[in-house]
Amino acid sequence: KIMVTGALGQIGSELIAKLRSEYGTDNVLATDIRRTNSAIEGPFEILDVTDTNKMHTLAKDFGADTMMHMAALLSAKAEEEPLFAWNLNMGGLMNSLEVSRELNMQFFTPSSIGAFGPSTPKKDTPQDTLQRPTTMYGVNKVAGELLCDYYFHKFGLDTRGVRFPGLISYVAQPGGGTTDYAVDIYYKALEERKYTSYIAEGTYMDMMYMPDALQAIVDLMEADPTKLDHRNAFNVTAMSFEPSQIAASIKKHIPSFEIAYDVDPVRQAIADSWPDSIDPSVAIAEWGFKTNYNLDKMTADMLLKLKLKLSA
Ligand code: VAH
């Protein structure tokens, strides 16, 4: 039985559906700081992840044996409010680790390519390398990786994680990320036939379509633990592209689509501090990480599903 925090977020909202289809609706408890109008069928509870007691009570009463901690403030938002980001990202993580330790739950939380910094090798970024991020989000992610490994070595807690690239989805629009231009561009392509990118042409970042991200979480959590030499957190990626390449992919479907640039210095600085392309070979070797979507296949699916969503 799985408890998910941040269930209304960009990953959480689709992770709930994925887990419920894999394990049954009543075996997945969705929690978030508020209930949105988008009706969530199945078990749902209001939870602020900085409230340890309520988190413990909900997990215990539900009989959860697995915790998937997805609640966090993303990179751009965290740069606007670094102290709040520290308290939410680190306070929430510590609480979810402590509750998982007390109730002996298997544990998952995502890290990010944001856990790397300007001094990290930018191409084929290795699994084990220098991590000196220059954003509050990155500091939270590196500290989070070390904390999750600590709980594994010190308490034997079965913690696992992946360093996600930018994730692209059509269900919940991401809030406050840097890679979100790659989601916004699809909405604007359909609504306005043009998009003004806040990330400069030529800025490469790792990306992945949400279905591949969700499958990676399930595959990692079901992997044979004796095969895992690493725990927190595995490099995973599906593709690396820069804005003009995703624009070209969209133009194959919408020939009149045009991209323009109006660079946001804050989010550009964040993007420039991250790798261009990371190396997922350790995840492939230790638990069979794989992806199904490249840029053109993702674009075709995103435009199809968004057309349906926007016309609904
Ligand atoms: C962000 N989408 O932009 C998130 C993610 C790798 C990027 O961490 O902050």
**Number of Cα atoms under 13 Å in the Cβ half of residue 264:** 15
Q: Is the CB of 114 under 6 A from ligand 1?
A: yes
Atom index in ligand 1 nearest the CA of residue 164 equals: 6
User: Reduced to 3 states, what is the DSSP secondary structure of residue 2?
Assistant: strand
Atom index in ligand 1 nearest the CA of residue 113 equals: 6
Q: Does this model's pTM top 0.90?
A: yes
Helix axes 181-192, 295-311, angle to 10 degrees: 50
* Contact between 230 and 166 (Cβ < 8 Å): no
Best of 11, 179, 237 for a ligand 1 pocket test (most atoms within 8 Å of beta carbon): 179
Q: Residue 180 — very low, low, confident or very high, per pLDDT cuts 50/70/90?
A: very high
Query: Quick one: tokens of 121?
Result: 């090798």
Q: Is the CB of 144 under 6 A from ligand 1?
A: no
Q: Which residues carry out catalysis?
A: 137
Q: Is the CB of 2 under 6 A from ligand 1?
A: no
Q: Is the CB of 85 under 6 A from ligand 1?
A: no
Taking only the tens place, the pLDDT of each residue in 76-135 is 999 999 999 999 999 999 999 999 999 999 999 999 999 999 999 999 999 999 999 999
User: Reduced to 3 states, what is the DSSP secondary structure of residue 123?
Assistant: strand
Interface predicted TM-score of the whole assembly (ipTM), two decimals? 0.94
**Looking at the predicted structure, is the pLDDT value of residue 59 above 90?**
yes
**Looking at the predicted structure, is the pLDDT value of residue 175 above 90?**
no
Q: Residue 151 — very low, low, confident or very high, per pLDDT cuts 50/70/90?
A: very high
**Looking at the predicted structure, is the pLDDT value of residue 215 above 80?**
yes
Q: Residue 298 — very low, low, confident or very high, per pLDDT cuts 50/70/90?
A: very high
* Contact between 179 and 209 (Cβ < 8 Å): no
Q: Residue 283 — very low, low, confident or very high, per pLDDT cuts 50/70/90?
A: very high
pLDDT at 176: 83
pLDDT at 107: 98
Query: For the residues 254-258, what does the mean pLDDT come to?
Result: 98
Q: Is the CB of 235 under 6 A from ligand 1?
A: no
> Which residue's CA is the closest to the ligand 1 atom numbered 1?
177
Query: For the residues 238-243, what does the mean pLDDT come to?
Result: 98
**Percent of residues, the chain, with pLDDT higher than 70:** 99
Q: Residue 292 — very low, low, confident or very high, per pLDDT cuts 50/70/90?
A: very high
Atom index in ligand 1 nearest the CA of residue 78 equals: 9
pLDDT at 172: 81
> Which residue's CA is the closest to the ligand 1 atom numbered 4?
177
**Percent of residues, the chain, with pLDDT higher than 90:** 94
The CA angle 156-159-165, to the nearest 5 degrees, is 160
pLDDT at 307: 93
Residue 26 CA, ligand 1 centroid: distance in Å? 30
* Contact between 299 and 185 (Cβ < 8 Å): no
> Which residue's CA is the closest to the ligand 1 atom numbered 5?
166
Q: Is the CB of 112 under 6 A from ligand 1?
A: yes
Residue 299 CA, ligand 1 centroid: distance in Å? 19
For residue 193, CA distances in Å to 182, 253, 259 come to 15, 11, 9
Query: Quick one: tokens of 98?
Result: 């402590």
